[in-house]
Structure 1
Amino acid sequence: MTGIDRLTALCPPPPTAPSTDWSSTEQALGMPLPADYKQIADAYGPGAFCTTVLSDRETVPLFPDGFLAQGAFFTPTTPAPTPVPVDTAPRPPASRATGARDIRAWARAHGHDVPDRGRIPVAVLEA
């Protein structure tokens, strides 16, 4: 009997756990994760054992006295939704197009060198 078998016998996992793309996760972290960690995460998903959240942010404590006094249980948590990026860059008013005269005035006010006539440099338009 393996360690994960003993754990699931002592404390049954929830009926469903979210699946994890381990290849992408390990690539994003730049390192492989231990196989037993992935087995536990696949079986249980995010949550806490006996109200003790085990994470990599702190040293994992030795189990305190009375840790299993109320029995072994797992409390799943729902991952926070991924925030949707919000574009906060100011936009010109939609009511009128920005003319070359306005662009040149803005560019000069911000230290850009622009010609009086002709094409406005791309670097200025993208600034």
Structure 2
Amino acid sequence: MTDLSALTRICPAPLPAMHIAWEHVESALGMALPADYKQLAEHYGPGAFNSYIHIYHPHGPTEFVNLTGPMPARIRAYLRKDFDQGTHPVPYDPERLFTIGGTDNGEHIFWITDPVDEPDRWRIAVNEARGPQWFTFDGTLVDFLTSVLSGQTQVPQFPRDLLASGPSFTPSRPDLWKPEPIPDQPPVDTAAIRAWGRANGYNIPPRGRIPSEVREAWERHNS
């Protein structure tokens, strides 16, 4: 497990730690989440690092920064199109990329979800906004933020003056988000979704995240 203390030393968390019902978040996503991300989300809440890096949060105030919102699926669809058509080189299978954040300039920050069933081993990738360049960081999300905000790692896509005023975190306006927006409902039986999907001709991996189109089709079938 990544130690959050290195990050909080250089960039103190501005709010008391919050409670997040992770079982509901993971059920909504259909996948387990890295332990370091859970610590990060609980201690920092929704907001932005250096007024530039926005990490998706279960209580993100808008759909553009909400972990369980539509953005990860939308961005994966764009990547799949680029991957299939060769518009821009995508160095990883889009099904193994899950968007976990973005920047004010339009870059996206991804988990490389490999191995799919070992989220604490997921690495980080950053793509170039409106361009072909990719950057890979061999570590967790908290490791990535700590390294970038301490100046140890310079992401080519990020502005050179990112740390001109030092590391900082600005929380989202508290009136824009509720403490528990994740529906309080029983966890979804992912085994049942996989069985239904295979019976209806979908190609579903035996472990890891269930593709969004399968989840949506299953929900329509059972609505």
The TM tier, using the shorter chain, reads 0.5 to 0.7
Instruction: Using CA pairs under 8 Å that are at least 6 residues apart, name the structure with larger relative contact order, 1 or 2.
Output: 2
CA distance in 1, matches of 2:18, 2:39: 12
Structure index of larger Rg = 1
Offset of 1:64 from its aligned partner? Answer: 2.8
Change (3 A) 1:64 1:4: farther
What's the counterpart of residue 41 of structure 1? 41
CA distance in 1, matches of 2:46, 2:30: 21
What's the counterpart of residue 142 of structure 2? none
Change (3 A) 1:16 1:3: same
What's the counterpart of residue 80 of structure 1? 177
RMSD (Å), alpha carbons: 2.1
Percentage of pairs with the same residue: 43
Using the TM superposition, name which of 34-43 and 50-59 deviates more: 50-59
Offset of 1:18 from its aligned partner? Answer: 3.0
When the two structures are superposed, what TM-score results if normalisation uses the length of structure 1?
A: 0.55
- Name the SS of the counterpart of 2:32 in structure 1: coil
CA distance in 1, matches of 2:24, 2:39: 16
CA distance in 2, matches of 1:75, 1:17: 15
What per-residue deviation string (whole Å, max 9, x for no partner) do you get for residues 46-99 of structure 1? 0000002234365224343121110111101134356xxxxxxxxxxxxxxxxx
CA distance in 2, matches of 1:50, 1:73: 5
When the two structures are superposed, what TM-score results if normalisation uses the length of structure 2?
A: 0.33
The structure richer in strand per residue is 2
What's the counterpart of residue 131 of structure 2? none
| Matched residue type, 2:21 | D
- Name the SS of the counterpart of 1:8 in structure 2: helix
CA distance in 1, matches of 2:165, 2:29: 36
CA distance in 2, matches of 1:64, 1:17: 30
What per-residue deviation string (whole Å, max 9, x for no partner) do you get for residues 8-41 of structure 1? 0000001324321111110111101111111111
Offset of 1:3 from its aligned partner? Answer: 4.5
Match of 2:159 among 50, 60, 64: 64
What's the counterpart of residue 120 of structure 1? none
Contact 2:15 2:45 in 1 (8 A): no
